[in-house]
Amino acid sequence: MTNRLPHSLRSDARDNRERILAVARTTFAEQGLDVAMREIARRAEVGPATLYRHFPTKEALVTTVFTEQMAACTSAVDEGLADPDPWHGFCRMIEQICDIHARDRGFTAAFVTAFPRATDFAADRARALDKTAELAHRAKAAGKLRPDFVLDDLIMVLMANSGIRATTPATTMATSRRLAALLIKGMRAEPADPPLPPAVRLPLTVVT
């Protein structure tokens, strides 16, 4: 009994951590990031002390929850860069990014939030944006992406995409796909296109 006790405690701790993460994923997807840590603990059926033992801060919980989505975003950009047709790669990247974010509006909130102590999350986001800038540069050089597109326009796309409110997940995804198609048409370079209004700097919000 004594020999098995430490293993049992480790198993219980792992179960608690996985349950917390599962509940947080669902809750953030439904409500965004404003949900209180105490509410997540209640839904996960653990005490607040257990929650904070695994995730000392809210940003630690948020960034852990969205690790997979961040990796998926980076993968989508990598696939776009690997496409021999930069415009096709850019369009496919926009479609995939919108799809990822439409499935979980909490992820969009996390993506546009500054987490001062979550250096890994910030570094992953910076890499994804740097690669997006490179893909956009290639699409512009090919004459397909309008020359006044800037990286902040991608943030604007994500914000617009996260504003979709539909009655079912299927309707949300269908609406997101249509929005992506409309936005891509607006990004395509056309000889007669008038210039866009000045770009707007969209700073990251700060988690509290």
Q: What pTM does this model have?
A: 0.79
- What is the residue-wise DSSP string for 57-75? SHHHHHHHHTHHHHHHHHH
66, 118 in Cβ contact below 8 A? no
**In terms of CATH, what superfamily is 5-56?**
Homeodomain-like (1.10.10.60)
204 pLDDT tier (thresholds 50, 70, 90): low
Q: pLDDT tens, 43-54?
A: 999 999 999 999
Contacting residues for 145 by C-beta, under 8 A, at least 6 apart: 87, 90, 136, 139, 187, 188, 189
- In the chain, where are the structural domains located? 5-56, 67-206
- Which fold, 67-206? Tetracycline Repressor; domain 2 (1.10.357)
Please state the φ and ψ torsions of residue 112, each to the nearest 5 degrees: -100, 20
User: What is the average pLDDT score of the chain?
Assistant: 86
pLDDT one-digit tens code per residue, 117-138: 778 888 899 999 999 999 999 9
Taking a C-beta distance cutoff of 8 angstroms, is the pair 51, 44 a contact? yes
Q: Where are the alpha helices (DSSP H) in 142-204?
A: 151-162, 169-187
Q: Which amino acid is at 168?
A: T
Q: According to the model, what pLDDT value does residue 98 have?
A: 93
- Cβ neighbors of 129 (< 8 A, separation 6 or more) are 151, 154
Domains 5-56 and 67-206 alike in fold: no
Residue 41 and residue 50: Cα distance in Å, rounded? 8
Cα radius of gyration rounded to whole Å, the chain: 20
pLDDT at 9: 47
